[in-house]
Amino acid sequence: MKETLQRWWRTLFGPRMFYGWRRGDGVWLAHTRISGASRLEAPERLQIEDHVYIGPFNFIDASGGLTIGEGCQISTHCVVLSHSSHQAVRLAGRSYWGEADPPGYRRAPTSIGAYSFLGSHSVVAPGSRIGRGALVRAFSYVSGEVPDFAIVAGQPARVIGDTREADEAWFAAHPDARADYDEWVRRTGAGGS
């Protein structure tokens, strides 16, 4: 009985995954999944492609402009920012509130390239650009540029590897899957989403 009640409680009140997303420009993304337990700020400024997964308990800020490329996965407890006010609040104190353009306030577009992965508890700072096919390891802090296919880790995140090396080992065992990989790499092109 207790297990039945717990299952019922989780079903009614637990985090839910929503399948499909209507972008700000009206385009329906049928294969995009976003957890209802994640917070999306300024969704009208979010340029998102299809096949994206945003898991539970993330904070996604698009107020300064945010692009999330096709097939991205944002695991859980991640923060993706396109603005930062912590310095402005500290510099201005009480006068920060109501100030049109407080000193130290930063707003910059952020982008995450196609088929990239953000590990749990990672933070992406405003103005960062994560290339396509990149992997951000758990608990990393990304500020700036991450090259295509890079594996990054640490605080601050540094390049520690290349996803293509791991992919090649997998393709050696599964050569039939290579065509799909080559197709998305060709389609998204260098710097594409």
Residue keyed to tokens 């409680």: 9
Q: What is the pLDDT of residue 193?
A: 53
> Are 47 and 27 within 8 A, CB to CB?
no
Evaluate whether residue 65 is within a structural domain.
yes
193 residues of the chain, pLDDT tens digit each: 778 877 777 677 767 888 999 998 999 999 999 999 999 999 999 999 999 999 999 999 999 999 999 999 999 999 999 998 888 888 888 888 887 778 888 899 999 999 999 999 999 999 999 999 999 999 999 999 999 999 999 999 999 999 999 899 899 999 998 888 888 888 888 645 5
Evaluate whether residue 168 is within a structural domain.
no
Token couple for 112: 């995450």
Token couple for 87: 């310095």
Evaluate whether residue 11 is within a structural domain.
no
Cross-strand partners of 48: 68
> Are 157 and 146 within 8 A, CB to CB?
yes
Domain residue limits at 142: 16-162
Evaluate whether residue 101 is within a structural domain.
yes
State pTM to two decimals: 0.87
Question: What are the φ and ψ backbone dihedral angles of 189, each rounded to 5 degrees?
Answer: 55, 170
Residue type, 85: S
Cross-strand partners of 136: 118, 152
Question: In this structure, what CATH number is given to the domain that contains residue 99?
Answer: 2.160.10.10
Token couple for 159: 């390049």
Evaluate whether residue 2 is within a structural domain.
no
Evaluate whether residue 1 is within a structural domain.
no
Evaluate whether residue 156 is within a structural domain.
yes
Q: What is the pLDDT of residue 190?
A: 62
Indicate the number of domains in the chain. Answer: 1
Evaluate whether residue 9 is within a structural domain.
no
Token couple for 181: 């990989």
20: enclosing H helix or E strand = strand 17-22
